[in-house]
């Protein structure tokens, strides 16, 4: 049987692997004719698949080959390293994009990542969904608001993003302007703005998905005449397809959140009453799915005032509907029995148990006489109010009671206290404590510290007190859409 040289088999296998797996025929190099083996101390060729290519050629071979193709070398290794680097970059950028929780954060991250991929320093992104449902916005990277305003003075039909958003036939894919200042066919206004802002080239991409259609357009700007390389175009194209899908999801979430916020606002007081001796302020932060936290303030006979906060269990439209029913019912009971907060909550508990036996709720109702600075309140599973002023900051001592709907018959004694002149009483829902992420005892301590730290100049303004407490308790942001907790703060300043 004819012996085949190990050297020949090694190089043939490497050549086939390179052609089949990598598809780069230009990576094959030729080596010098194989001669007699050098001494043992000579340099060895690299091993392939564990086989030493320096094994001597068999003497049974009739005619040794004079020239053999060498295994692909540094070129293929560089190509592989480049592909791995590109995949790693794409993975890191998409992970960062997936970590955004608001539409605005996602837009800014897309613009920054795209600029890094195409090698640009500046750019703008126009969000304008084709269905007209909004929201619509324009953001810039390395461009001030005045710069964006200057760009918007250019006729829309001659800009890259305008042609994409208007769905012109020549704007289905990327649009490249390699030399804006040297393009004689460019609109003079476009050339003037580009010269004043100092950019000489642009690269634009449509942002669209098959399900949602066109969402907007991203444009990256170069300081000198340039255009992205083919490799850069490929990478930013892959990234933009993923980013568009993410934007579509964030856009849907933003629309739902806006609708929930509008519905919640419609169910809450449009304005707070004005009663002599007390000033009011309210703040409400809505969770992504919309919770059932609510507040109310209604004038009662004899210049009295009814203040209430509460939370209906659950989230979404069901919780909002329950919130509306609870608030409307409590208003009716407060008008009839406002001087007795226990009777008001007892009636509310009976209504909840008869109409929605599977739902629970917390509530706190306070009957206030501002002229006498007297408050009588009762709570059902709700956190106690907090009094803060120049001389003290302390929680009101209330009785422990179960939430509405948990017991066959709810009843708890009321408590009476008197805020001093210049003091503010803070009513709030548990969402304020839970959003901190701390244990409840630590959250209560943080709330006490936040109220005690209100600047002296702001203590006579209930709006300033409420804003300071919210900023201190929630330093990571008041409008985080990833939160599942509503927050309600109702501040009553007694003169």
pLDDT at residue 194, as a whole number = 93
Q: For the chain, what percentages of helix, strand and coil (3-state, to nearest 5) are there?
A: 40, 20, 40
CATH of the domain at 466: 3.60.40.10
pLDDT at 72 (0 to 100): 59
Same domain for 103 and 223 = yes
Asked whether residue 159 falls in the same domain as residue 285, the answer is no
Residue 429 contacts residue 386 (beta carbons within 8 Å): no
| Together in a domain, 232 and 274 | no
| Same structural domain, 39 and 176 | no
Q: Which residue has the tokens 């805020």?
A: 419
Read out DSSP for 198-263? Answer: T--EEEEEEEEETTTEEEEEEEEEESSS----HHHHHHHHHHHHHHHHHHHHHHHHHHHHHHHHHH
Domain boundary among 259, 290, 307: 259
DSSP 378: E
| Same domain for 94 and 63 | no
Same domain, 124 and 253: yes
- Please give the Cα distance from 433 to 136 (Å, whole number): 34
What integer pLDDT is reported at residue 64 of this predicted model? Answer: 52
pLDDT at 60: 45
SS (H, E, C) 54-79: CCCCCCCCCCCCCCCECCCCHHHHHH
Answer yes or no: do 90 and 148 share one domain: yes
Q: What is the pLDDT of residue 29?
A: 37
The residue out of 234, 259, 284 marking a domain boundary is 259
Residues contacting residue 328 through CB under 8 Å, at least 6 positions apart: none
C-beta separation of 352 from 341 below 8 A: no
- Are residues 346 and 314 part of one domain? yes
Contacts of 251 (CB under 8 A, 6+ apart): 103, 127, 129, 135, 212, 215
Q: Which of 242, 259, 276 is the last residue of a domain?
A: 259
Q: Is 468 helix (H, G, I), strand (E, B) or coil?
A: helix
| Residues 222, 132 share a domain | yes
At 69 the pLDDT is 53
pLDDT per residue as tens, the chain (495 positions): 334 343 334 343 443 444 444 333 343 333 334 443 333 333 344 443 343 444 444 444 445 545 555 555 677 887 788 888 888 988 999 999 999 988 999 999 999 999 999 999 999 999 999 888 889 999 999 999 999 999 999 999 889 999 999 888 777 789 999 999 888 888 889 999 999 999 999 999 999 999 889 999 999 999 999 999 999 999 999 999 999 999 999 999 888 878 777 777 777 887 899 999 999 999 988 776 667 889 999 999 989 999 999 998 777 777 888 888 889 999 999 999 889 999 999 889 888 888 888 888 899 999 999 999 999 999 988 899 999 999 999 999 887 788 887 766 667 788 999 999 999 999 999 889 988 888 999 999 999 999 999 999 999 999 999 999 999 998 765 555 556 788 999 999 999
Q: How many structural domains does the chain have?
A: 3
Q: What is the CATH number of the domain that holds 136?
A: 3.30.450.40
Helix (H), strand (E) counts: the chain: 12, 15
Sheet holding 278-285, edge to edge: 278-285, 487-494, 423-428, 386-388, 393-395
Q: Residue 68 belongs to what domain range? A: 1-72
Q: Do residues 243 and 278 both lie within one domain?
A: no
Q: Are residues 421 and 446 in the same domain?
A: yes
Q: C-alpha angle 485/486/487, rounded to 5°?
A: 115
Cα distances (Å, whole numbers) of residue 386 to 195, 207, 349, 460: 59, 49, 25, 16
The pLDDT of residue 286 is: 77
303 lies in the same domain as 415: yes
Strand partners for 362 = 311
CA neighbor of 10 nearest in space, from 58, 81, 61, 68: 68
pTM for the full model? 0.60
- DSSP-H helix ranges across 271-340: 317-337
Contact, 164 vs 206, CB < 8 A?
A: yes
Q: What are 31's two structure tokens?
A: 């080596």
Tokens of 308: 């209430």
């Amino acid at each position: 049987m004819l012996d085949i040289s190990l050297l020949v088999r090694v190089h043939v296998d490497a050549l086939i692997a390179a052609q089949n797996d990598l598809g780069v025929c230009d990576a094959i190099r030729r080596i010098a004719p194989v001669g007699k083996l050098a001494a043992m101390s000579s340099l060895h060729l690299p091993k392939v698949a564990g086989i030493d290519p320096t094994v001597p050629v068999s003497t049974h071979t009739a005619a040794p080959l004079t020239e053999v193709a060498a295994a692909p070398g540094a070129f293929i290794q560089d190509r592989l390293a480049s592909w791995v680097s590109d995949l790693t970059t794409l993975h890191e950028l998409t992970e960062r994009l997936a970590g955004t929780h608001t539409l605005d954060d996602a837009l800014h991250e897309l613009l920054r990542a795209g600029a890094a991929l195409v090698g640009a320093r500046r750019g703008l992104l126009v969000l304008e969904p084709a269905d007209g449902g909004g929201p619509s916005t324009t953001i810039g990277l390395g461009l001030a608001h005045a710069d964006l305003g200057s760009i918007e003075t250019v006729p829309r039909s001659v800009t890259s993003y305008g042609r994409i958003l208007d769905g012109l036939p020549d704007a289905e894919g990327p649009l490249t302007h390699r030399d804006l200042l040297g393009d004689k066919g460019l609109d003079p206004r476009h050339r003037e703005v580009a010269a004043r802002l100092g950019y000489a080239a642009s690269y634009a991409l449509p942002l669209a998905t098959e399900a949602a259609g066109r969402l907007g357009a991203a444009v990256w700007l170069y300081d000198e005449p340039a255009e992205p390389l083919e490799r850069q175009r490929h990478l930013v194209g892959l990234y933009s397809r993923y980013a568009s899908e993410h934007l579509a999801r964030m856009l849907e979430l933003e629309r739902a959140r806006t609708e929930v916020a509008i519905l919640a606002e419609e169910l809450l007081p449009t304005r707070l009453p004005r009663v002599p001796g007390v000033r009011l302020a309210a703040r409400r932060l809505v969770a992504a799915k919309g919770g059932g936290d609510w507040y109310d303030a209604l004038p009662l006979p004899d210049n009295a005032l009814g203040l209430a906060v509460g939370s209906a269990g659950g989230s979404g439209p069901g919780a909002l509907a329950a919130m509306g029913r609870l608030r409307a019912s409590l208003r009716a009971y407060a008008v009839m029995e406002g001087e007795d907060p226990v009777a008001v909550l007892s009636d509310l508990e009976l209504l909840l148990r008869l109409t929605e036996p599977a739902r629970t709720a917390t509530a706190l109702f306070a009957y206030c006489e501002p002229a006498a600075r007297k408050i009588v309140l009762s709570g059902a599973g709700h956190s106690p109010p907090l009094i803060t002023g120049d001389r003290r900051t302390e929680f009101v001592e209330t009785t422990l009671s179960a939430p509405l709907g948990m017991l066959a018959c709810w009843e708890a004694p009321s408590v009476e206290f008197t805020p001093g002149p210049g003091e503010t009483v803070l009513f709030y829902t548990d969402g304020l404590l839970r959003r901190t992420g701390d244990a409840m005892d630590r959250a209560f301590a943080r709330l006490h510290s936040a109220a005690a730290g209100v600047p002296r100049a702001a203590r006579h303004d209930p709006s300033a007190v409420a804003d300071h407490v919210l900023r201190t308790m929630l330093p990571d942001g008041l409008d985080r859409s990833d939160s599942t907790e509503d927050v309600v703060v109702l501040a009553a300043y007694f003169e």
